[in-house]
Amino acid sequence: MTKTNAVDLGTRVGSNRHVRIPSEIVTETLALLGKRGSGKSHAGTIITEDILEAGMSVVVIDPLDCWWGLRSSKDGRQEGYPIVVFGGEHADVPLNETSGRTLAALLVEQHIPAILSLRHFSKSAMKRFVADFCEELYRLKGKKVNREPLHVMIDEADMFCPQRVMGEDARVTGSIDNLVRRGRSSGIGVTLITQRAAVINKDVLTQTEVLFAFRMTGPQDKKAIKDWIENNADSDRQREILTSLAKLPIGQAWVWSPGWLNLLEEVKIRDRRTFDSSFTPKVGEERRSPKKLADVDLDAISESLAGAIEEAVANDPKILKRKVAELSRELEKAKGNGSATAGNMDQEALQRAVDTAIEKRDEDWNSAISLCVANAQTRKAETQASISKAFSIVDVIFEDLAIVGPSPVRQSPTLTTHDNVAAPTKSGGGAAFGGTERKIQSTKNIPGLGRCPAAILSVIASFPNGCTKRQFSFLSGYVLNGSSMKAGLSCLRSQDLIEARGELFFATQAAHDQFGPFPPKPTGIESQEYWLSKLGKCPWEFMQEFIAVYPIALTKAQLGERTAYVENGSSMKAGLSRLRSLYLINEGTDMRASEELFD
């Protein structure tokens, strides 16, 4: 494998001209976005190959344990790159969830390229490890002696910097935001790789210099791309890109760098030079294993890591406390031997011992205080996560009641969200679209009808194919079986303005003739955004997933994996019940979004 001074991405679609990016990419920020299997991790691999070819360092944060193939050649018969694998099934060195800071120090000081495989950690442990690692990396790279270029590849980046920042997400998101936003001056570059453009943090995403847009079909994911490009291309170019995303072949992407490279090309990503350890074998096909891996200097690494661990142990508050206690006992024993014994002691040595004991005691107190603060912050984050989960259940209950106006005020546990459009806030579903009060469907000021009948009629009339009682109750903002709802329906029936056909209600021709036209029901993406704005946290998250995979159906188990909700938990049941009651998803075990949302 030969040295290179640029990253060869592949060839421009429609020609044999290669598209290359300067080696300065090592300190720039990139985003690789696309649905599963579209080729984004493959692109991350070929970028990593060329950075290693240039003799520069890379650290890969690998939650899936699928990057270790960089150690072998494409056919598995020759050596690949001497990049050390920490953790996972192919580990050179085991990885502990508490060693993030120690490992950051080792990699920065020794300039060691590494893959950090986190597959064996829980999600919470992954987030804590990445937060520790990135915080320490940013701190150490701030020193002049550590300014050598280093690129950090973060696979499944939405896990570590999500759009909805809650509980323990705040710390890890902040640590990555620091690397992306401020790391370049310290020699740090970052690549974010995700299959869910809609749910990665937009404050972080907007800081990237180069965007790779692979195949994606979900409307919310495509909207995230649209938000990124709308200020950097004319409307015709935008339309060309957005309409092509759903049809892009595997391994093909739009590569866009409007500021740094002034580049916009559709690129066929080149083949990788190393072993494809992320390859998924077909049914009946045997998984290949490489015959040869590149050697790494494990003795030097183990020695350095052992020294770092020894230093960490030496500074451990519990160990320091024991040392202070032992020294204090020795001093007390010396005092108890009487004036004759004390008189024979070296007074300077005794004073040094006393000073050392006091210094150690103060260090121990400071360490203990820091440890208490850290533990308190951890407990606070856990409590915030529990409270937030409880809020999601309460939101569903309040939606079922279809309360008019703002939900009761609840003090939010100092959580921050950065959602631009669709994320519901703690004060009610509609607050995401501005203000703290629930928004209701646009209504006409109808002479002769009160506020409630006018609101109900406006909603029903906007549904030409009929509207359920639960739907127009929810959208009009009146309690499903409350006195206002009953009086409003009675008023409309008495004037022959609505009619019921089974479970569906329709506005009569008389209503359209007398009071029309009525505000139309939102359609397409506007319809999706409209309904999302009405939902609480839990059903909002579920609906995002149903929209993203449409027309594919999801089971409860699959939905739980995508959202981290327990498959048969109360939040799962309540959220799905809410979506079914509003006819936003179908009944049954295989659930999919209503086709009306895509009209």
What tokens appear for 519 in the block? Answer: 């505000």
pLDDT per residue as tens digits for the range 317-331: 545 556 566 666 666
State yes or no: pLDDT of 101 exceeds 90.
yes
Instruction: For residue 507, list its beta bridge partners.
Output: 498
| pLDDT reading at 41 higher than 70 | yes
Q: Which range is most confident: 172-176, 444-448, 594-598?
A: 172-176
pLDDT, average across residues 130-136: 96
Across the range 167-180, mean pLDDT stands at: 93
- Res 143 pLDDT > 80: yes
CB 176 within 8 A of CB 155: no
Q: In the structure, what pLDDT confidence band is assigned to residue 424 with cuts at 50, 70 and 90?
A: very low
Contact between 293 and 86 under an 8 Å Cβ cutoff? The reply is no
Provide the token pair at 401.
């009641």
Find which of 253-257, 324-328, 579-583 is predicted with most confidence, using mean pLDDT.
Answer: 253-257
The dihedrals phi and psi of 100, each to the nearest 5 degrees, come to -60, -50
Cα–Cα distance measured from residue 556 to residue 591, given in angstroms and rounded to the nearest whole number: 8
Cite the DSSP H helix spans in 274-412.
298-314, 317-336, 338-344, 347-401
CA angle 528, 428, 556 (to 5 degrees): 55
Mean predicted confidence (pLDDT) in 176-198: 95
| 3-state SS string for 123-167 | HHHHHHHHHHHHHHHHHHHCCHHHCCCEEEEECCHHHCCECCCCC
Sort 295 into a burial class: Cβ within 10 Å, 0-12 / 13-18 / 19+: exposed
What is the structure's pLDDT at 265? 92
**What is the average pLDDT across 137-155?**
95
Residue 373, C-beta contacts closer than 8 angstroms, at least 6 positions apart: none
Work out the average pLDDT over 124-149. 95
pLDDT at site 440: 39
Nearest to 200 by CA among 30, 413, 25, 26: 30
- Hey, what are 448's tokens? 């002769």
pLDDT tens digit string along 509-564?
A: 988 888 888 877 777 787 788 788 878 888 888 998 988 888 888 998 888 888 88
Q: How confident is the model at residue 382 (pLDDT cuts 50, 70, 90)?
A: low
Distance CA 200, CA 142 (A): 26
What mean pLDDT comes out for the span 172-179? 96
- Whether the CB-CB separation of 150 and 59 falls below 8 Å is answered with yes
Average pLDDT over residues 111-116: 95
More confident residue, 81 or 597: 81
State whether the Cα torsion 581-585-586-587 is positive or negative.
Answer: negative
Return the higher-pLDDT residue of 50 and 305: 50
Residue 150 has pLDDT above 50, yes or no: yes
Residue 154: both structure tokens together: 């973060």
Q: How far apart are CA 228 and CA 248, in angstroms?
A: 19
What pLDDT does residue 568 have?
85
Cβ–Cβ contacts within 10 Å for residue 505, how many? 23
- The confidence score (pLDDT) of residue 105 equals 92
Query: Residue 213 pairs with which residues in a beta bridge?
Result: 33, 254
- Taking residues 22-43, what's their average pLDDT? 95
Lowest mean pLDDT of 198-202, 253-257, 304-308, 483-487, name the range.
304-308
For residue 498, what are the CA distances in angstroms to 65, 494, 519, 529, 547?
59, 9, 16, 27, 32
Report CA 135 to chain centroid distance, whole Å.
17
Average pLDDT of span 11-34: 95
Residue with tokens 């790494």: 296
Count of Cβ atoms closer than 10 Å to residue 469 Cβ: 17
| DSSP state letter for 204 | H
Q: What is the mean pLDDT of residues 343-357?
A: 58
Q: Please report the sign of the dihedral spanned by the C-alpha atoms of residue 219, residue 63, residue 416, residue 559.
A: positive
Is the model more confident about 350 or about 326? 326
- Provide the pLDDT for residue 411: 37
Which of 15-19, 90-94, 574-578 has maximum average pLDDT? 15-19
pLDDT of 82 reads 94
What whole-number percentage of the chain has pLDDT above 90?
Answer: 37
Q: Say if residue 173 is exposed, middle or buried (CB neighbours under 10 Å; 0-12, 13-18, 19+).
A: buried
Q: Would the pLDDT of 420 be above 50?
A: no
> 116 vs 32, 60, 88, CA distance in Å?
19, 6, 8
Identify which has the larger pLDDT, 314 or 240.
Answer: 240
Under the banding of pLDDT at 50, 70 and 90, the label for residue 486 is confident
> What pLDDT, on the 0 to 100 scale, is given for residue 211?
94
Q: How confident is the model at residue 135 (pLDDT cuts 50, 70, 90)?
A: very high
pLDDT at 4: 56
Mean pLDDT of the chain: 80
Residue range 409-424: average pLDDT? 35
What value does the mean pLDDT take over residues 307-321? Answer: 52
Among candidates 498, 529, 533, which has minimal Cα distance to 514? 498
**Residue that the structure tokens 């990665």 belong to:** 200
Residue 377 has a pLDDT of 63
Highest mean pLDDT among 149-163, 254-268, 336-350: 149-163
Phi, psi of 264 (to 5 degrees): -145, 105
CA 186 vs CA 180, 260, 265, 384, 393: distances in Å? 11, 18, 30, 33, 44
Is the model's pTM score more than 0.75? no
Which H or E run includes 172? helix 169-182
Helices H / strands E in the chain, number of each: 19, 14
> Angle at Cα 347 formed by Cα 346 and Cα 349, nearest 5°?
65
Q: Residue 595 is which amino acid?
A: E
CA gap 420, 204 in Å, rounded: 13
pLDDT of 406: 38
- Residues 430-444, mean pLDDT to the nearest whole number: 38
Compute the residue count for the chain. Answer: 599
pLDDT at position 121, please? 93
